[in-house]
């Protein structure tokens, strides 16, 4: 167990008196590319996570050590000086410490060891877990009251500082998640609520296509954002009060379709319908309608494939295999697109045989070995007992 490894390493090398904190990864059940359009999302925090063992020290420095990727140690002096480091994760912590310093947050000397079992690069938001968990650890050591909303904003600012222009969905899901519940978030006003997942006898499985995002992906994301903005600009000419695609409906699209590219209308239609799928999914989960949930997953995938055009042939094939297997209720690509994972709802009874069939068929078709991860819906960032 990773948390035991982290805790025992800390006790051997630092102190027996420590706090252990868990920051979970997250999945997104439905609501893809809606966040930057002030839309609706439905993520959930999961049982896989990053664990931080922390205690205060009298060194006037923050010492951080990990064996998550490879063993490495970073030290930050509280006076702002630090030694150079090679680790990608060190940049996140450096950004966080600089942000807290700029806000005159009373930092204290701290020792920290972290490790986790979130597969890096699988779309489970390991960076949000890393940032939110570390900020939460600092608040525990400094004994300062900082709301989870504030932690989310600091974590987002840290990601922006190192060049990742993310919304707030990942941070909110990691901080506010609740066991056996999805987390509904309205990205326009950040209102949120819990949606019970009443699906007894069914399991969530993530299948990694092992198709990595290529370097052209950023420009493809930007093209889709521009399409959404183009529609908003045209609608604003007769609805000056609107600020995002969230306030645009299909009647508006009909009115402006002669003034924009067809591809812009197609992409905006996807976003409007994806928001509708989020609302539909909330109702189906509450009602325990697994068949209905599976259908919405599939609808969401093929809309991403044909309307928003962000899937790959390999991801499409993974979903197609599932459609032919009894006991796989539905699948869809999860995340930004152009690679990554599918999230799958499967009958628990035939889980292992269906996973084997999926992996085998995928290998035969693509000559690529996919990986799978069982997903359990768990709590957000917390002190781990």
Catalytic residue, candidates 35, 170, 316, 379: 170
Handedness of CA 140, 143, 147, 150 (dihedral sign): negative
Q: Which has the closest alpha carbon to 97: 112, 115, 86? A: 112
Query: Which residue reads 């600020």 in tokens?
Result: 243
* Alpha helices per DSSP H over the chain: 2-13, 88-102, 126-142, 148-161, 169-176, 217-236, 250-256, 262-287, 290-306, 313-323, 351-366
Count of residues making up the chain: 385
Q: In this structure, what are the phi and psi dihedrals at residue 183, rounded to the nearest 5 degrees?
A: -120, 105
Q: Give catalytic status of residue 170 as yes or no.
A: yes
Is residue 56 within 8 A of residue 108, CB to CB? The reply is yes
- 90 CB-side CA count, 13 A: 18
Task: Give the angle subtended at the CA of 335 by the CAs of 329 and 337, to the nearest 5°.
Answer: 100
Catalytic residue IDs: 170
């Amino acid at each position: 167990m990773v948390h035991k490894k982290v805790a025992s390493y800390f006790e051997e090398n630092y102190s027996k008196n420590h706090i252990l904190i868990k920051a979970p990864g997250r999945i997104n059940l439905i609501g893809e590319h809606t966040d930057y359009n002030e839309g609706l999302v439905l993520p959930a925090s999961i049982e896989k996570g990053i664990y931080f063992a922390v205690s205060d020290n009298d060194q006037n420095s923050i010492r951080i050590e990990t064996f998550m990727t490879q063993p490495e140690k970073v030290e930050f002096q509280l006076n702002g000086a630090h030694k150079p480091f090679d680790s990608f994760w060190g940049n996140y912590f450096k950004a966080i410490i600089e942000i807290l310093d700029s806000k005159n947050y009373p930092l204290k000397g701290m020792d920290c060891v972290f490790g986790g079992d979130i597969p890096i690069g699988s779309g489970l938001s390991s960076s949000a877990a890393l940032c939110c968990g570390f900020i939460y650890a600092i608040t525990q050591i400094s004994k300062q009251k900082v709301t989870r909303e504030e932690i989310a904003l600091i974590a987002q600012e840290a990601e922006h500082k190192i060049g990742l222009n993310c919304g707030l969905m990942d941070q909110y899901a990691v901080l506010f998640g609740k066991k056996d519940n999805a987390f509904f978030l309205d990205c326009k006003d950040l209102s949120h609520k819990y949606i019970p997942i009443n699906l007894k006898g069914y399991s969530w499985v993530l299948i990694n296509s092992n198709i990595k995002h290529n370097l052209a992906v950023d420009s493809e994301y930007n093209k889709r954002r521009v399409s959404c903005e183009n529609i908003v600009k045209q609608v604003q000419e007769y609805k000056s009060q609107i600020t995002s695609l969230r306030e645009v409906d299909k009647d508006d699209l009909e009115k402006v379709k002669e003034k924009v590219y067809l591809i812009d209308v197609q992409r905006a239609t996807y976003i409007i319908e994806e928001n509708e799928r989020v609302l539909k999914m909330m109702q189906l989960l509450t009602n325990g309608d697994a068949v209905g949930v599976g259908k919405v997953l599939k609808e969401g995938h093929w809309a991403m494939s044909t309307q928003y055009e962000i899937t790959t042939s390999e991801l499409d094939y993974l979903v197609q295999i599932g459609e032919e297997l009894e006991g796989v209720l539905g699948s869809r690509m999860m995340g930004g697109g152009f690679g990554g994972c599918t999230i799958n709802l499967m009958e628990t009874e035939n889980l292992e045989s269906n996973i084997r069939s999926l992996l085998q068929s995928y290998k035969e078709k693509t000559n690529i070995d996919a990986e799978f991860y069982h997903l359990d819906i768990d709590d957000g960032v917390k002190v781990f007992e």
